[in-house]
Structure 1
Amino acid sequence: MANTPSAKKMTRKIAKRTAINRSRRSRMRTFLRKVEEAIASGNAETAREALRAAQPEIMRAAQHGIVHKNNASRKVSRLSARVKALAAPAAA
């Protein structure tokens, strides 16, 4: 247990920061899940809209250090490719 006032303050700060980070990570995962579900349903338009909503959330999470910038870019890239592939057979 923290004994000094500064250590006690740090535990309060860490708890607050952890709650914020958990909330941001959960929000990002919710948006990712919506894209995954839209892709699984096979509806290209819904998937495109879900990706359009998820992309800023994923990049915002990277900006705040929840995930690494390259990790976020990779997620967006792979989801974009899957949405594009979903729309391609419908167009062809």
Structure 2
Amino acid sequence: MPNKKSAAKALRVSERRRLENALHRGKMRSAIKRFRQALGEGNREAAEELLRKAVAQIDKAASKKAIHKRQADRRKSRLMKAYYRTFVLSA
């Protein structure tokens, strides 16, 4: 338990931020999972749409500072690479 007023506030703020970050990261992870599932099924149209949604969620998580901007860039790059390998190179 915090002993000072400022420590109590820091605890409240930290908990609020943790929940907010978890929300954004969870939405991002779900979008990525849906994209990877469409990729595995070989459904190009669905994968393309879900890729856009996943990238948007990743950007949102980065803009809210739930993840680092370089981590966001790396994740987007890997998703684009997976899409390209599955549908462009194999076609």
Structure 2-normalised TM-score? 0.88
2:61 match = 61
* Per-residue CA distance 1:32-90 (angstroms, 9 max, x = gap): 1111111111111111110011111101111222222122112112211221222223x
Unaligned runs of 5+ in 1: none
* Per-residue CA distance 1:6-41 (angstroms, 9 max, x = gap): 111111111111111111111110111111111111
- Structure 1's consecutive aligned runs of 4 or more residues displaced over 4 angstroms after TM superposition are none
Rounded Cα–Cα distance in structure 2 between residues aligned with 1:9 and 1:72: 30
Rounded Cα–Cα distance in structure 2 between residues aligned with 1:23 and 1:84: 29
Unaligned runs of 5+ in 2: none
1:30 match = 30
Secondary structure of the residue aligned to 1:65 is coil
1:13 match = 13
Structure 2 counterpart of 1:46, one-letter code: A
Structure 2 counterpart of 1:31, one-letter code: A
1:76 match = 76
Structure 1-normalised TM-score? 0.87
The percent of aligned pairs where both chains have the same amino acid is 34
- Alignment: residue pair count: 90
Secondary structure of the residue aligned to 1:70 is helix
